[in-house]
Amino acid sequence: MKLAIFSLCLCCFILLGNSTSLGCSCAPIPLLRPNETVDERRAATRKYFSNEFTGAAFVGKVIKREPAHVNWLAIDSDSKPLTVGYFRYTINVSEFWFGVESRTVYVYGEPNEPLDPGGGWSSCGFRLKEGRTFFFTPRIYKESLLIDMCDYSRGGSELDEFNVLEFRKVMGEPKSF
């Protein structure tokens, strides 16, 4: 019996030791739940974005990407703001559904690289390329627009991705400037 338990533990150790784990993962956006129709899923998504979501939804081109040190994201054990390195993206908005009041919008996102010498790497960060156009659904946090890998647009989606096409079906065609 002891040999069987030892063998099982050894197999688990070998399997887990050789596996690749990801430090960041998001819950999948449910396409359909059991016994739910496409129209019901779309109605629930529309209700969420129309009544509950606090943020913006738009399509825009990344004009500038620059390091930004923000002190509104985290606090230490003494309730004092911590300075955190992020990227600030300047976006030239071409189309929008809601949450946008001007053609130029600033959004903040976690980097995939250290911004300070000796800084740690982020497991959930990403880098949007300047000159590229993306679909965004940032949430408002402390009066700023914050994008992340787990938002509806996954921090910025290519325009031909499923979630962008589905968003157009759910929310209708966007407005433009």
Question: Is residue 22 over pLDDT 50?
Answer: no
Taking only the tens place, the pLDDT of each residue in 94-142 is 999 999 999 999 999 887 665 555 555 455 666 788 999 999 999 998 8
**Average pLDDT for residues 138-163, to the nearest whole number?**
90
Taking only the tens place, the pLDDT of each residue in 97-106 is 999 999 999 9
Higher-confidence residue of 147 and 118: namely 147
Percent of the chain with pLDDT over 70: 69
Domain boundaries, the chain: 57-171
pLDDT confidence of residue 28: 64
Residue 143, sorted as left (phi over 0), alpha (psi -120 to 50) or beta, turns out to be left
Q: What is the 3-state secondary structure (H, E, C) of 133-164?
A: EEEECCEEECCEEEECCCCCCCCCECCCCHHH
CA-to-CA distance for 42 and 19, rounded, in angstroms? 37
CATH number for the domain running over 57-171: 2.40.50.120
**Average pLDDT for residues 80-94, to the nearest whole number?**
85
How many residues are there in the chain? 177
